[in-house]
Amino acid sequence: MSVIPFDQRDGVIWFDGKLVPWKEAKVHVLTHGLHYGSCVFEGERSYDGVIYKCTEHSQRFHKSAEIMDFTIPYSVAELDAAKYLCLKENGLKDAYLRPVAWRGSEMMAVSGMNNTIHTAIAVWEWPSMFDMAQKLKGVRLDLAEYRRPDPACAPVHAKAAGLYMICSLSKHKAERGGYADAMMLDWEGNVAECTGANIFFIKDGVVHTPLADRFLNGITRQSVVDLCRKRGFEVVERRIRPEELEGFSECFITGSAAEVTLVSEIGPYKFITGNMGKVIMEDYSDEVRQKSKVAA
């Protein structure tokens, strides 16, 4: 995987309705989205040239902006077309996609209601966050110091840039400690999610996952819940206390970047990388590839 800085890469980025050279896709330092977090984004993947859940991601993109009190000036259909144009013009089939929208630079104050809404889409080659050996062995998670905020205190159902501040802090701390990521609790001390992925547990053949009403209900999470139920696995969405982790046999995380990745450890709690988790991981891999074959 390339380690070229993201502002120095070649290719094109879709920026406010047109393709521009990658290195010229810039914003001013006095941009409202940078200073005040008035920014939303998506993370998506394409497989064999087909973007998985493309329209669902564009719809969520619009919804996130609505929650953040602005309107993306492109329709869902226009965003879908722009994503495929980016793939084509950058010569990619297996890629990660990053749509992003933000308030511009007309006003530099807490209020930026009349600022222009800008929209961009970038795509690049990025394999799964963890390689297959790591996925099968299981990654290690730390316990995050910061908690997901109360929905009464933050727009938790938007994929908003500002909500990821504590995620970056938690992941940095975890990586410095030798972990791959960190598991976060909600404001009441229940298990919530990881810094950029949802989390699942298995006990006695039943899949348990935190109820996604206090954090982002991931599109990959929804897909995996559906796959589990199609497989005949019972899925229970509920509040999970951290002390319950001792009683779960398996654990895995889900997300567009992480896909489905097994977990071997969360702080003091250990898990086996068992058959159910591996089946779910394989089912998801088959699902995204099968969708690309059908679309083709």
Q: Which residues are catalytic?
A: 159
Q: Is 20 helix (H, G, I), strand (E, B) or coil?
A: strand
Q: Are residues 49 and 93 in contact, defined by beta-carbon separation less than 8 angstroms?
A: yes
Beta bridge partners of 183: 143, 194
Q: Which residues contact 59 (CB under 8 A, 6 or more apart)?
A: 76
| SS3 call for 275 | helix
String of b and e for 113-138 (b: at least 16 CB within 10 Å)? eebebbbbbbbbebebbbeeebbeeb
Rounded-to-integer distance, Cα 127 and Cα 143, Å: 26
Contacts of 145 (CB under 8 A, 6+ apart): 169, 170, 173
Cα dihedral value 135, 140, 144, 148, nearest 10:
20
Token digits of residue 191: 């298990």
Distance of alpha carbon 36 from its chain centroid, rounded?
Answer: 21
- Compute the distance between CA of residue 244 and CA of residue 190 in angstroms, rounded to an integer: 10
